[in-house]
Every structure is written in C-alpha cells, then in structure tokens.
Amino acid sequence: MKRLSVFVLTLIFLDLALPVDSQAIPAFARKYGQNCNMCHVAFTKLNDYGQRFRDNGYQVAGQEGKESNVIGIAPPLSLRLVLGYSAYINDVASTSGFGLYGFDLLAAGVLHKNVSFLLIYTPRIDSPASQYFGDSGASQIGSLESVSLVFSNLVNTALNIRVGRFEPGYHVFSSKRSFYLFEPYEIYTFTTRNNSYVFDDNQIGIEATGHYPIGFKYALGVVNGNGANPDNNVNKDIYLNVVQTFGKGDGQTAGQRIGAFGYLGWQPLDLPGTVISPTGETNGGDNKSFYRIGGTASFNLRTLNLQVLYMMGSDDKALNSLDSTKNYEYSGGFAELDYAGLLNNRLVASVLYNWITPPSYDSERQMMAYSALLRCYTGDWTAVNVAFHVEFTHRETGKDVKYKENMIGLALDFGF
C-alpha cells in the first residue's frame, strides 16, 4: 500500500513538475528587430517595457497605429521548446531521464490599430500515443492554451477588452512567464475536492483591463471558470484584480508594486452527466460558491526583484468531502527573489519558497518547497534565444509525517 501511495505521489509530483506552458513571443522581436531584453528581463519574465507592451495589446505604448500589422511583416509565428534531463528522488525511490518538457506554438500580432490577437497551441507530447488516436475517446492531440482577441484603448488606456481563452488578469506573477520551468507556483495548482477550478488555468470569457498614468491598473473578468472545458453551470465566475505601482516603472524591474485580487466562482454539485448543449455546456445545478482572495507585492532594488503572493481560498462546505460542516479553507503563497545580471542580463539566479496550509483535517496536503535556479543566456540574437537552465526543488508534504522529494532539472530553453 505504501509503495502504491508513493507511486501515486510520484506521479502527481512529476505531473506538477512538468513545465507549465510558457510564453515568450520572439515573433515580436523579429518584427521590431530588437533582442529579447527589450521586453524581457531575460526571457520569459517581462520587464516594465514588456509589461506595458502586453497591457497595450501588443503595441508599443504611445505608438498605436504607427507600426505594421500582421500583413506587413513576416508571419508572426514563434515556438518555444524545452528539452533536457531531470532526476527525481523521494524517500523511497528515484528516477531520471531525458524529457521534452514543453512545446508551444505561438502566433500573435496587431491586426489593426488597437486590435490584436494571441494564439498559443500546445501539442500534447507527454502522453502515450494511444491517447492521441485511441478508441477510448481521448482524441485530443493538443490544446489551445490561449486564443484571444484584444481591443485596446477603447477609453484611452482605461478600458481594454480581451475575449477568448486567456490568462486572467489576476496573474500578476504569471507562471507562464516565470523563470521556473519545472516547479511553478504551487498555490496556483492546488485544487480542492469537488471543485474543477484551477487558479493557474487560462479561462474562457471576457476581461476588461485598464491602466492609468498614476500607476493604477485593474482587471475585471467574467469567465466560465473551468479552463478550456465547456461550462458546466449557468453561473459565471467573476474576478477583480487591482495593483498600484509606486515610483517609476511598472513594478516588474523598477518601482514598487502592491496589489489585491479576488475570485468568486460557482461549482455545481448536481452534474447531469449528459451534454445538453450543441456546444458542450451542461446545466449543472445546486451551485455552490467558492472564492480565492489574496495580495501581491513586487519590490525592486537595483538588479533584485522580490515577488510575494499570499492567497486564501474557501470552498462552500457542500463541496467539502472531508468535513461537510465546514467550508474548506486554506491558504498559501510564495516568495521569489530574482537576480538578473551580467551583460544584458545574460545570467539569472533565483530562489523561491512555496507553502500551502490546508485545514487541519487535511494536513496531509500541507506543503512547503524550496526551489532555486540558474539560467544562462547564450547570445545577442534577434528573436532567437537559447537559455541553459538548471533548477532544483526540495519539497516536503504532510504535517506529522513528512514526505520529502527532490527534483533537479537541466534544460535547454529554446525560443524562436
């Protein structure tokens, strides 16, 4: 039994340890003839300039309508490939091997002044071939990680609309643009029982965002709340994120930034089990609420950046299969310290601390993890870049009996 649980935990760990889909869009760099560090501290983490570029619908801030659209440039296609070698050791077993840890195909660009798009296609490369074409119905061979249209500057910079499947605006510290390839932010992927919502998922819906010269930003969204799957109830989830930057910059590499976010969602207890809509939605009933709230902060000192996130989550007691008399309440977060140095930030070093504190009756899921990484970038290439990446994570799960795991990954992170 113990072997089985170790095996299951190992699988879970490896599944979580697989890189999240990451974003760096070299097609933009090709378009502008600039190197990656124009927009990135070092790819994939955005600097202030890149953040403004993204906030402005993939247009250079203040230069809207003064650049070529996708018709006038090379096809705006990019790919991201992460391959390498990883080793995993837990209390009773170890394993290692080469891996293809991530592959994204990206297209993005400006269609017209203040109208842009982003598309990320992620082929499934990590499952048995039988799952691609098997007769069990699992025929999905990839996923549209993101596909969205952005209508920018509808009311100056105060209103921008994004529709489609996108990364919700409460992700001020995006796991998709984090330096960490193997071990993202644990609290983002912590799921509760009977609830299909995953904080880290891209969601389908509509989002309004705005940014102001005083350094204030907001994101307000309405989404299905269950990733790319068809909706399963008539209630829609809503969220709000606000941040305020102090000093110059956007808090990415300059200035100091604090923020707060909240997400209110609904999860059906009564799932009819049959598809009732031609487009796949079901009319799940007996919807129960859950929420996630938290705060963020980003502090910069010269070449150092400290990012902190604290989050609390609560699911209605009806969703709590462990103790139906109480809401399932948990908290967690992370603190990450990044350093970028050498010429043009050719070297990145980072340490990361993750923690999750579930309710006492679910203490087996209590978790803390330490991670560290080094990334070295190879050259001054416009819109092509290769980073050598080494990342280590030590994780302990459980309260009274701790389950310890170590993972080290070496990777080539290639963006074109």
Contact positions vs another protein (CB under 8 A): 27, 31-38, 47-49, 52, 56, 60-63, 65-68, 72-75, 77, 79, 105, 121, 123, 129, 132-133, 141-142, 213, 248-250, 253-255, 300, 302-303, 340-341, 343-345, 380, 382
Q: How far is the CB of 212 from another protein (least distance, A)?
A: 11
5 or 127: CB nearest another protein:
127
**For residues 186 and 332, is the Cβ–Cβ distance under 8 A?**
yes
What is d(CA 361, CA 83) in angstroms, rounded to the nearest whole number?
Answer: 39
Task: Count other C-beta atoms under 10 Å from residue 185's C-beta.
Answer: 27
301 or 401: CB nearest another protein:
301
**Could you tell me where the DSSP H helices lie in 120-248?**
129-133, 186-189
Q: How far is the CB of 249 from another protein (least distance, A)?
A: 5
Q: How far is the CB of 279 from another protein (least distance, A)?
A: 24
Beta bridge partner(s), residue 397: 367, 403
Q: How far is the CB of 369 from another protein (least distance, A)?
A: 29
132 or 353: CB nearest another protein:
132
Of the candidates 284, 296, 165, the residue with the CA atom closest to the CA atom of residue 221 = 165
The three-state DSSP-derived secondary structure of 52-96 is HHHHCCCCCCCCCCCCCCHHHCCCCEEEEEEEEEEEEEECCCEEE
59 or 371: CB nearest another protein:
59
Q: How far is the CB of 2 from another protein (least distance, A)?
A: 35
What is d(CA 388, CA 377) in angstroms, rounded to the nearest whole number?
Answer: 6
What is d(CA 219, CA 211) in angstroms, rounded to the nearest whole number?
Answer: 9
Q: How far is the CB of 34 from another protein (least distance, A)?
A: 5
Which amino acid makes up residue 62?
Answer: G
Give me Rg for the CA atoms of the chain: 21
14 or 60: CB nearest another protein:
60
Helix (H) or strand (E) holding 22: none
How many Å from the N-terminal Cα to the C-terminal Cα in the chain? Answer: 46
Q: How far is the CB of 240 from another protein (least distance, A)?
A: 24
What is d(CA 177, CA 120) in angstroms, rounded to the nearest whole number?
Answer: 13
122 or 203: CB nearest another protein:
122
186 or 250: CB nearest another protein:
250
The two three-digit tokens of residue 24, written as one number: 């760096």
172 or 223: CB nearest another protein:
172
Q: How far is the CB of 223 from another protein (least distance, A)?
A: 28
The two three-digit tokens of residue 35, written as one number: 């190197």
Q: What angle do CA 243, 168, 43 make, to 5 degrees?
A: 80
The two three-digit tokens of residue 235, written as one number: 């209630």
Q: How far is the CB of 213 from another protein (least distance, A)?
A: 8
Q: How far is the CB of 72 from another protein (least distance, A)?
A: 7
11 or 100: CB nearest another protein:
100
77 or 349: CB nearest another protein:
77
Of the candidates 387, 296, 325, 384, the residue with the CA atom closest to the CA atom of residue 350 = 387
The two three-digit tokens of residue 336, written as one number: 């990450």
